[in-house]
Structure 1
Amino acid sequence: MALMAAVLLVYSYQRESAQRVRDTVAMARALSSVVDRELAAVESALQVLATSPHLKSDDLAAFDAQAREALSNHAADNVVLTDAAGRQWVNTFRSFGAPLPQQEMPQLRKVLDSRRPVVSDLFTGPLMQRPALSVSVPVFRDGRVHYNLSMGFFPDRLSAILEEQRLPPGWIGELFDGGGNLVARTHQPERFVGQRAALWQEPEIREHAAGAVEMLSAEGIPVIATFSRSAVSAWTVAISVPRETFTARLERPLGWLILGTVVLLGGSLALAWRFGGRIAGAFRGLSEHALRLGSGQAVTIPSFALREADAVGRALMDASRMLLEARHDAHHDALTGLGNRVLLKEVVDRQLALSRRQGGELALLYIDLDDFKPVNDRFGHAAGDELLRAVSDRIRAGIRRSDLAVRLGGDEFVVAMFAAGGAAADVAAKKLAEGLAELYAVAGAEIRISVSIGIAASADGRTTSERLLEEADAAMYRTKGAAKPRPASASAPRRPETYSDAPMSR
């Protein structure tokens, strides 16, 4: 029976280990989405700038001034305008009219050939002689590419995005381009950015868009590296967890059980003639609890009045507690205590399946804090974390007990409303927006923020959690440019609805 308990715990260990790998892959996939959104925002800004009337009239001095103004509103370092021959006409690193390099950049040829926006790999800028990246869009005239318009940025901006995700201590976040060059890193970026990523040498990354491998990090540390490659930019986000950290919380209860089993078996053989009946009863009780542990249930074991059996019982209870804590950590956000993306997917998928069988409505509210970055920039990341916790408390207090609130990462939250359609979700969105817009006392200052909320609803469950979340995300982004707060109704089931509050003020 003790051997059965050991086998069951090994099985639980392996299952929890696989679950933690899946959760870390999901975290890498979510971080990849954050990077894609940043690149998409830069591309959108370039598409708007490409319609400038100054370009049509070739008034490049006026366009230079317009580009500098646009640059101040986006997370980029410079704007470059190049003609089809590779000649730079505008580069905001230099005053207009100053001499500029006439070196053709690789991304120019890609834009000319594809006639589509291009995200570059890491390159050395000819003017600043520093590693840089760019997003480029074509500017058409008479049906052909007349100019190439680019926004460039240095890798430290992307490293800052990785740092904002607050990975646990010891974990390493990396971002590398389509050629395997490290673009950003949370640990010693100044040492490794620009080098070929260690993970790029693994065959799995060339065969799969997401997965996990055991390897040595660039520092020579044994890690479990999970990765997710973007289908949009072909860039890859990797999260490396030290092997020791990954397994420590799961291996300890296994060691306790092995030790307790050895002690129990030795004692039972020596004292079988005296304690046979009592030991047999203890084994039966331990086996029942071991089976419950194997199924993921909480275990509370009473004393058997046998030292060895009680030691095993305590080991099983320690294992139960640690496994439950690991499961909780895998489904909740460490900063705010809200659920995370993994929990949201499990709960929404389960509710959608129930809706398909029995009917019932479901709605998602995608909440994004407007202009959260200035709070971090002005008051520091500690104040930003305090604000995120305060926002989480208001979201939790502003929803029904039957609803689920999660933090996706950064300043993005989702509320899943069960047995509620678009109308009820719109009312809840307005209530949340009003509550979240009230003053916050953070870092000795009073701060006011606003939010953008997108709504997606399902009336029959004939969708997926990913699709519903994408619709709510898209609806939220449509509110960003709205001049006034307004709810938007949808005539068909599952079509997103939107609501936005007023712009941020402090």
Structure 2
Amino acid sequence: MIFTVFRTTSLRVRLLLLALVASLPVIIFAVFVVVQMAADRRTRDEDTLLRRTAAAAAAVDRALFGVSRELTTLAVDKDLLEDDLSQAYVEAVSFAAQSSLGESISLLTPDGRILFNTRHPFGSALPLSGDSAGVAEAVRTRALRVSNLFVGSIEARPVVTVDMPVIRHDQVVYVLHMVIEPGRLLDLLRAQGLDEGWSAVLVDRDGITIARTRDPESSIGRKPGAGLLQAIAEGRQGTYETTTREGVPVLAAFQHTQNGQWVVAVGAPLAEFAAQRTRFLMVLLGGAVLILGMAWLLTLRMARRLEQRLADVGALAGRLGAGAPVCPVPTGIRELDAVGQSLARAATLIASREAALTRAGKVAKNALASKAKFFAAANHDLRQPVQSLFLFHATLSSMLSPEHPARRPLEYAERSLQALELLLDGLRDVSRLDAGAVVPVMAPLALDTLLDPLAEEYRLRGAELGVTVRYVPTSLVVRTDRALLERIVRNLLENAIRYTPRGGRVLMGCRRRGGHARLLVADTGIGMPADQLGQIFEEFHQLGNPARDSTLGLGLGLAIVRRSCDLLGHGVSVNSTEGKGSVFTIHLPRNED
């Protein structure tokens, strides 16, 4: 009955009905589970924190016990008891190298004078201990002592020590120092595998931070958070809530170490405990599977019908992608029917546009062929008369004296002929590139062998016009056609010098970019407006030359550059600021052999 009622309803209504039927029992079950488990979650969190704190304190105790055992062994060494300090130094160096926690070992007199330190050659002059009071306490108590944090006198940095008195004939004759750098204790705290966001801190008997996993560099030697100091002073048991120095609310616990009576504290952000609710997901998943099984009979028929309709629409999309005719079939779902009709309209539109593109392509191809034929014919037909004009000009020039009044008009005529010859050369190159008559010969090319001679040539030409041309040598090797690349670079240098006023600069160089090389030609010339950059590679398009002055070029150089780069498969780009200059970049593949 329900499928008859909703036979022509929207896909949204069907999905909402399915989600409601499947999710409502799951939601009810999840609420029930959360309520039942919320009561003991806090207790489990606190137990976890206490276990982690106890484990961290035990790790510190084990490490200090290991150090004390090493010092105890060294304190009864025969060489040390017989005052053979040089041999005792050798033994101490060996112990320090094998110690998992200690950094170095010092031997001190009862008054705090350092006799040797394993990080310095034997016999080196060393200062008094930076913890003379601690040495005196070890002498007085004749027992192992773990110091507070203090600044070592040898290297003037914060350290802690484990002090072991050396007793001979019931007298303390020396005190062994095992020097521990706070960074090693920090590594010990980090090795506890605390969860992300948790932090641990080690505090000495004076309430000074020895090591802290969060912001360790700025924490050493400073007081920890006020909440921890207050908890230590009050001797609290269990966990407590406080705020870290950074202002983060945490649930914390602390424990004293057996060796040294230091304090190890571990804190976990209160916000992190909310993440532990993910533990409920397994329970929720089991309930969801059960509920979904019960709902399966109700949703199976609806899901099958929906799946079939979606498959039909997918088949229509596949026919559209294959270019086949699209004939939508009614599905009974408004949205899917609308998609089918849209696919049919899209197929019709794509077919008409493909036909239009085919026709336009043919027209463009014919126009391009006609243009190439025209350029080739014009170049061929005009070349002979131009050569004759050059011959007549040379003959006439030889017949006139330098002071003849016709000499200046004759010079103007020569410049016009040269401009005409350049135009014919440009038309020839454009027509050959468009006609596919140029076949590149790709080969490895050391760029410096091409660019250095060009730089020297154009350096002289630029000097005549008051333009400085500079080249940065390169060792890059690329794969290209040498002749075509030379023509490209020449055209770029010609343009750069031509449009750079006297006193300006032109720079040519290369940069490495991954598997490519970038060849750059930069100038400080007149630059180009941003809205014109897309047109500068067209034939006869020139900026800053409205009068079509032939001394500023004919507008074919950059068109040849674009066509040559396309033929070689090299990218070409330009960045320019009007009034400041331009940078042309050729992207070349590096030769990997």
**How would you bin the TM-score normalised by the shorter chain?**
0.3 to 0.5
**Which structure shows the bigger proportion of residues in helix conformation?**
2
TM-score w.r.t. the length of structure 2 is 0.41
Higher relative contact order (CA 8 A, sep 6+): 1
